[in-house]
Amino acid sequence: MAVVTPRPELVAKLQAAREASLALAQASTVQKNRALEAIAAAIESSVAQIVPANELDLARGKENGLTTGLLDRLMLNEARLAGLAAAVREIIALDDPIGIVVRGRTLPNGLKLSQVRVPFGVVGAIYEARPNVTVDIAALALKSGNAAVLRGGSAAEETNKVLVALIQQALESVGLPGESVQTIDEFGRDGATELMAARGYVDVLIPRGSAGLIETVVSQSKVPVIETGAGVVHVYVDATARKDWAIDIVKNAKVQRPSVCNAAETLLVHQEAADRFLPELLQALRDADVTLHADDRSAEYFPDVVEVTEEDWALEYGSLDLSVKVVQHMDEALAHIRRYSTKHTESIVTEDIANAERFLNEVDAAVVMVNASTRFTDGGEFGFGAEVGISTQKLHARGPMGLPELTSTKWLVRGAGQVRG
Amino acid sequence: MAVVTPRPELVAKLQAAREASLALAQASTVQKNRALEAIAAAIESSVAQIVPANELDLARGKENGLTTGLLDRLMLNEARLAGLAAAVREIIALDDPIGIVVRGRTLPNGLKLSQVRVPFGVVGAIYEARPNVTVDIAALALKSGNAAVLRGGSAAEETNKVLVALIQQALESVGLPGESVQTIDEFGRDGATELMAARGYVDVLIPRGSAGLIETVVSQSKVPVIETGAGVVHVYVDATARKDWAIDIVKNAKVQRPSVCNAAETLLVHQEAADRFLPELLQALRDADVTLHADDRSAEYFPDVVEVTEEDWALEYGSLDLSVKVVQHMDEALAHIRRYSTKHTESIVTEDIANAERFLNEVDAAVVMVNASTRFTDGGEFGFGAEVGISTQKLHARGPMGLPELTSTKWLVRGAGQVRG
């Protein structure tokens, strides 16, 4: 592995982003909101420009054999662009995190200390074939006072080029530097690698996309990364679980939107609850077209299953598949979760207060729930208004990230000639 | 650069640390404080065991030609051990950060949401020839509920071995797992490299020591790092500065303890202030044995200087040396700081409120000051009681770090059967 250094053309872009970030850091909320409105309006009024560029990407994608799923993500039409513009306007309504005093005090020597929220400066994003992320990240970065440098992937290159140009014009129309939002797609895959090496130029890097993409960024990046990871999410149905809650929660967690990271992948059932309602619960899941990957004990209650494999326990299906296991006791459930959890979201269904508190205490995950569907792990549901992603790391941010998670802080000290004795 | 993977013996230690961390995370404040008291008592009562081990390290260090400064850092005698025990007892007095509710609310659907402080889990530390750090980090990690894996460097290997054994016995004496604190010195330099590769086993890595050590860890580590960086710290004396404050602050910032990261390295003086008091200010510094590295304009006021070089501006002297520059206006001072600052601490001396606020707003550093000595950037001075280090990165922690900065958070969600619609 050779040591990677960013090429001069990339460094020039990053320096321009740094310059722009100085202006953004000083921009008022009013000015930033005006820029967001200009971006939303530009998206709405430029359908005739964006859609043809997007069609070029789609045609190339088909030639290159992109899957239907990827082509669908890539596609922008008038309705989707209206949705994107609406999403930008939602960010206008959010509180500006910049300048918020996090804490402060007067020290015994009279120094006035305050810790205030400031932008990171330059935020990098690496993602794949999702041009909506271009607008999304640009808008979130802008509202939090950060410049954004985007590597959106070659599959969406034509679309991203048009979108970034529109965003830059919108920024300039309200007196903010166009270089606040830039794409580095023209440098190809090597550009992404060089962006990861640009420590000092980029303050934080956010990968968004497949587990493979995130793993690559996390393991290669010299720039600090906020990891938005995979979810191997468990629901544990305890001995005392209410039957109606257990069925509602498991079904909702698996079926309501199986492709997302907060959907459940594994059901653990206490053996004393198994008799009582495993047949009914598994039947409800089968009725919702769920393929059950079950251990021997669950299969005793409901034979219409696939045999679960060791690999299945660690798998984020992202589909209507569910691993099922009957456990002897709560210890076994906790041990299973400790072993296979990706520390995203874990939920227990129980009527036993001691077990509920023990689960909350002992399970190590970004979000730990009692008697609720794992699908609630979401910035919107948590009341953040918009979601930057769901962090599965422990440094800086954990769980759903809102605008404040796109900021740092600095300490301000106001004195009157104090010196240290 | 080959891909590094931790050897099985290291993985076994890290797994034992993870196991121990589960018990530590559940330990009460009372129990953790009891462990800290046992550690303090063990240090006091084991002078006859620690000092001979330390003498072996010192003898080897002399053979290997360690500098006097390094040998002094390495040395432990009865007085220093008493100081170490006292430092551990100070940590007993600090608030336990674990379990603190950071924020919370009831969502419209009735879900009760709370974000609580939890330990990281396993904290790694890499440092050099400072056996006091072994006790220091172990005690801070313990109070914040974290297991600690220490790479203290071969120069202090014998001392660290004894200290860690004492700490482990102390932990076990109060019913906490001995593996909560472990050394990996036996794996040598490669062990440090493998620790940096142990993502998933170690939750956060803290390098403490020279700029070279920190740079190595930051650039090589796959484990998230909290960087405690160097300080090229500036004091800017504005046109309207009060003369007595300027002299006091600059002198204190440079002279009071020149070897530390919050000591000033560069003095910038507005040209309108230069006439008024540069001769007196520079004379005061010369009288305190400061070597002045001055630009041409400062030398006009005070010829007893060394000519400053381009390299000097970027240098953390760590000694009684100071770079001096006369600037035409505040813009030039801000541009100089932007270029050479390591974003640790910057201070302005001024009577002009607009300039004070502009400096606070525009300077990008962990701590930005008005009319105060940069020496106040310190966990103790900020009222944190103990200091884990001073973070110069923007992710997770910025500026002096106390116990809360050694923690993560998790979201707890308490429901009553809610599912997502």
User: What are the chain A neighbours of B361 within 8 Å (beta carbons)?
Assistant: 25-26
pLDDT recorded at residue A2: 58
Predicted confidence (pLDDT) per residue in B159-196, tens digit: 999 999 999 999 999 999 999 999 999 999 999 999 99
The yes-or-no verdict on residue B287 having pLDDT over 80 is: yes
- Work out the burial of residue B106: count CB atoms within 10 Å of its CB; fewer than 13 is exposed, 13-18 middle, 19 or more buried: exposed
Residues 6+ apart with CB under 8 A from A160: A131, A134, A150, A152, A183, A185
What mean pLDDT do residues B285-313 have? 96
Average pLDDT over residues B48-75: 94
pLDDT for the residue A215: 86
Distance CA A61, CA A79 (A): 21
Query: pLDDT for A389-402, tens place per residue?
Result: 899 989 999 999 98
Quote the Cα angle for A75-A81-A86, to 5°: 140
Q: Which residue has the tokens 């310190």?
A: B378
The average pLDDT across A280-306 equals 95
Inform me whether the pLDDT recorded for A3 exceeds 80: no
Instruction: Count contacts between A and B (CB, < 8 Å).
Output: 214
Mean per-residue pLDDT over chain A, rounded: 95
Q: Residue B331 has which token pair?
A: 């813009």
Distance (Å, whole) CA A337 – CA A342:
9
Which residue in A226, A393, A415 is closest to B371 by CB distance? A415
Disruptive mutation site among B350, B364, B392 for chain A (greatest number of A CBs within 10 Å): B364
Mean pLDDT of B220-247: 93
A400 forms beta bridges with: A390
Give the single-character DSSP code of B173.
Answer: H
Task: Name which of B242, B372, B396 is nearest A111 (Cβ-Cβ).
Answer: B372
Do residues B57 and B155 touch, judged by C-beta distance below 8 A? yes
- What sign has the CA pseudo-torsion B113, B119, B122, B127? positive
> Which tops the pLDDT comparison, B47 or B213?
B47
CB-based contacts of B26: which residues, under 8 Å, 6+ apart? Answer: A361, A362
Distances in whole angstroms, Cα of residue B133 to Cα of each of A267, B24, B87, B201, B231: 45, 20, 11, 22, 20
Question: Which of chain A's residues have a Cβ under 8 Å away from the Cβ of B412?
Answer: 360, 367-369
Quickly list DSSP for A29-54: HHHHHHHHHHHHHHHHHTHHHHHHHH
Which whole-number Å values give the CA distances from A81 to A40, A44, A54, A379, B245, in the listed order?
9, 7, 11, 22, 58
Look at the block and give the residue holding tokens 């699908």. A375
Q: Please give the C-alpha separations between residue B132 and each of B22, B45, B401, in angstroms, as whole numbers.
A: 26, 16, 18
**Do B387 and B401 touch, CB atoms closer than 8 A?**
yes
* SS3 (DSSP) at A202: strand
CA quadruple B33, B34, B38, B41: dihedral, nearest 10: 70
Interchain contact, B248 vs A419, CB within 8 Å? yes
- Per-residue confidence (pLDDT) for residue A115, from 0 to 100: 98
Closest-CA residue to A362 (of A399, A330, A394): A330
pLDDT of residue B2: 58
Distance CA A177, CA B39 (A): 57
Measured distance CA(B51)–CA(A49) in Å, rounded? 76
Contact A372 B414 (CB under 8 A): yes
8 Å CB contact of A417 and B372: yes
CA atoms within 13 A on the CB side of A98: 20
A222 or B254: which carries more pLDDT confidence?
B254
Mean pLDDT of B76-91: 95
Q: CB distance A364–B410 less than 8 Å? A: yes
- What separation in angstroms does the CA of B311 have from each of A75, A199, B263, B317, B340? 52, 21, 18, 11, 10
Q: Where are the alpha helices (DSSP H) in B256-388?
A: 271-287, 296-301, 310-313, 330-340, 353-362
Q: Which amino acid is at A281?
A: L
Which residue bears the tokens 């559940």? B26
Chain A residues whose beta carbon lies within 8 Å of the beta carbon of residue B398: 408-411
Nearest-CB residue to A413 (from B22, B203, B367): B367
Q: What share of chain A is helix, strand, coil (3-state, %, to 5)?
A: 50, 20, 30
Interface test with B, best of A95, A395, A396 (most B CBs within 10 A): A395
Nearest by CB: A204 against B204, B242, B395 = B395
Q: Which residues of chain B make contact with A112, given a CB cutoff of 8 A?
A: none
Tokens of A372: 């609720």
Contact criterion met (CB < 8 Å) for A415 and B199:
no
Q: Does B214 have pLDDT greater than 80? A: yes
The pair of three-digit structure tokens given for residue A381, joined into one six-digit string: 């549901």
Residue A418 has which token pair? 């104090």
Type of residue at A30: V
Q: Are B121 and B203 in contact (CB under 8 A)?
A: yes
Average pLDDT, stretch A295-318?
A: 95
Distance CA A379, CA A402 (A): 6
Q: State mean pLDDT over B249-269.
A: 96
pLDDT of residue A150: 97
User: Looking at the DSSP assignment, which residues form a beta bridge with residue B150?
Assistant: B125, B183
> Identity (one letter) of the amino acid at B124?
G
| Chain B residues touching residue A218 (CB < 8 angstroms) | 199, 222
- In A233-298, the DSSP E strands lie at 233-237, 264-270, 291-294
The pLDDT of residue A259 is 87
- CB-CB neighbors (< 8 A) of B231 in chain A: none
The residue in chain B having the minimum alpha-carbon distance to the alpha carbon of residue A410 is: B366
Q: Looking at beta carbons, which residues of chain B come within 8 Å of A356?
A: 414
What does the mean pLDDT of chain B come to?
Answer: 95
Torsion from C-alpha of A251, A255, A256, A261, nearest 10 degrees: 110
Q: Which residue of A has its CA nearest to B401?
A: A411
B14 vs B201: CA distance, rounded Å: 6
Structure tokens at A369: 């729930």
Tell me, rounded to whole angstroms, the distance of Cα B31 from its chain centroid: 27
Structure-token pair, residue B57: 């390290």
Measured CA angle at A346 (ends A345, A350), to 5 deg: 145
Give the pLDDT of residue B281: 95
Burial B364-374 (b: 16+ CB within 10 A, else e): bbbbbbbbbbb
Answer whether A412's CB lies under 8 Å from B359's CB: no
- Across the interface, whether the CB atoms of B376 and A111 are under 8 A apart is answered yes
Pairwise CB contact (< 8 Å): A249 & B417: yes
The phi and psi torsions of A152 (rounded to 5 degrees) equal -95, 0
Confidence check: pLDDT of B1 > 60: no
The answer to whether the Cα torsion of B417, B418, B420, B421 is positive or negative is positive
Give B-chain residues touching A373 at CB under 8 angstroms. 415, 418-420
**How many angstroms away from the CA of A77 is the closest CA of chain B?**
27
Both tokens assigned to A120: 């990171």
Q: How far is CA A363 from CA A330, A338, A340, A346, B160, in A?
A: 12, 7, 12, 8, 33
For B382-408, write each residue's pLDDT tens digit: 988 777 789 998 999 999 998 999 999
Q: What is the mean pLDDT of residues A377-385?
A: 89
Residue B141 in tokens: 């990690």
pLDDT in tens, B20-34: 999 999 999 999 999
Weakest mean pLDDT among A7-21, A112-126, A200-214, B105-119: A200-214
pLDDT tens-digit series, residues A52-66? 999 999 999 999 999
Token reading at A108: 């015994």
Angle at B147 between CA B143 and CA B148, to 5 degrees: 100
CB–CB of A31/A176 below 8 Å?
yes
Count CB atoms within 10 A of the CB of residue B105.
Answer: 12
Instruction: Please state whether B129 falls in left (phi above 0), alpha (psi between -120 and 50) or beta.
Output: left
Name chain B contacts of A204, Cβ cutoff 8 Å: 394-395
* Amino acid, res. B4: V
Say yes or no to pLDDT of B118 above 80: yes
Q: Tokens at residue B155, please?
A: 């120069």
Inter-chain residue contact B245 with A199, CB threshold 8 Å: no
Segment B107-120 mean pLDDT: 98
Chain A residues in contact with B199 (beta carbon < 8 A) = 218-219
Q: Which two tokens stand for residue A35?
A: 């820029």
Give the residue from B234, B215, B214, B216 showing the smallest Cα distance to B316: B234
Amino acid at A187: F
Q: Given an 8 Å threshold on Cβ–Cβ distance, is B219 in contact with A203?
A: no
Of B366, B393, B410, which has the smallest distance from its Cβ to A365's Cβ?
B410
Q: Are strands B399-401 and B389-391 parallel, antiparallel or unpaired?
A: antiparallel
Model pLDDT for residues B124-153, shown as the tens digit of each residue: 999 988 899 999 999 999 999 999 999 998
